[in-house]
């Protein structure tokens, strides 16, 4: 069974940066797409970014494009989410997920089969 453990969340001021990490306990991590999603209190889970196992292409949600960067180190079974110029609306629990979604499900929770427990990010002055 795949286990994903996120870390790196915290409380920061607007404009600050954070880097989230996600360590996966799977032997063929490189063959999985990794996604980051977030969920604010009272809202639905939202797609943030993904690094596809096919061609290593990356995708971003419109609200984070240009500020967040997803990357991965397959040798360390780890994915990262670098978050710059954080805004209060970026507040939420950030989840890492793995799976082999097709393009039409890449930005949806249904495309992923394993999930971490989440890490809290709070952006406030």
Phi, psi for 48 (deg, rounded to 5): -110, -55
Residues in the chain: 125
What per-residue confidence (pLDDT) applies to 66? 97
Q: Where are the beta strands (DSSP E) in 1-125?
A: 4-7, 10-12, 18-24, 33-39, 46-51, 58-60, 68-73, 78-83, 92-99, 114-115, 119-123
CA–CA dist 36, 11 (Å, integer): 19
**Per-10-residue mean pLDDT, the chain, length 125:** 94 98 94 97 97 89 98 96 98 97 93 96 97
């Amino acid at each position: 069974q795949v286990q994903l453990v996120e870390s790196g969340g915290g409380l920061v001021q607007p404009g600050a940066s954070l880097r989230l990490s996600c360590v996966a306990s799977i032997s063929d991590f490189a063959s999985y797409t990794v996604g980051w999603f977030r969920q604010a209190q009272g809202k639905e889970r939202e797609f943030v970014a993904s690094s596809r196992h096919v061609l290593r292409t990356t995708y971003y949600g419109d609200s984070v494009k240009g500020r967040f960067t997803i990357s991965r180190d397959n040798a360390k079974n780890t994915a990262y989410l670098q978050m710059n110029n954080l805004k209060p609306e970026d507040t939420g629990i950030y989840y890492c997920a793995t799976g082999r979604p097709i393009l039409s499900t890449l930005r949806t929770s249904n495309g992923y089969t394993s999930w971490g427990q989440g890490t809290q990010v709070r952006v406030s002055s």
